[in-house]
Amino acid sequence: MVPAATAASSSTTEAATPQCARSSLSAGFLHAGGTSVFVLSTIDNSCPGVLRGAQRLEPFTREQILRQLKQYGTPVITQEPRQYNIDGHRAAITMASVEEAAQPNKRAVTTYAAKACFLGNIPEKRSGKSGGDSETSHVLCFDFTTPQRDLLPRMLSFTLQFDKDAPQPLVPGNILR
């Protein structure tokens, strides 16, 4: 199962198009239990409405993971959106699963998925008359899909490194239940 890399949000006024969310990296692994997939995508200001929707990380990750899995059946949220920080970048993750209908002579397959997104830059407080935070220029999202439940936490422990800081897990272990 390959996750959809769309960035549409019902809260945005722009329809998702390939240039609104660009997948910059994807990898898959075929094993006896099925295919596990990892996709990194970027949402930038080429579609300002989509970017605004994606900046609301919790509802965005929830909506997107449900949309991604809906094509395979009725998805269930297994972990509601949880907010956290990674190296000062605000982030959120939502996890879900879907049981695909059994085919003749085959058993039903459950697919597990997670969507983690974070702000690509750390908004700085502005001083002066304009006030407020600086604009977020992009949102990075990681989609993980696998039929192996125990593989998902390992995929989420991938490390990221910002600038010359120490590598950190994409999702801290205390966020995952």
Higher pLDDT, 13 or 160: 160
pTM of the model: 0.78
Exposed/middle/buried for residue 167 (C-beta within 10 Å: 0-12, 13-18, 19+):
exposed
Query: Whose structure tokens read 């003749």?
Result: 104
Amino acid (1-letter code) at residue 169: P
Summarize the confidence of residues 146-162 as an average pLDDT.
85
- pLDDT, one tens digit per residue, over 71-96 is 889 999 999 999 999 888 899 999 99
Alpha carbons 42 and 24: distance in angstroms, whole number: 7
Per-residue tokens: 142: 């990681």
Res. 141 pLDDT band, cuts 50 70 90: very high
- pLDDT, one tens digit per residue, over 155-171 is 888 888 877 888 888 88
Q: Which domains does the chain have, with CATH numbers?
A: 21-169 (3.40.1000)
**86, 118 in Cβ contact below 8 A?**
yes
Residues in the chain: 177
- pLDDT, one tens digit per residue, over 27-37 is 888 887 788 99
Q: What is the pLDDT of residue 87?
A: 81
Alpha carbons 7 and 117: distance in angstroms, whole number: 11
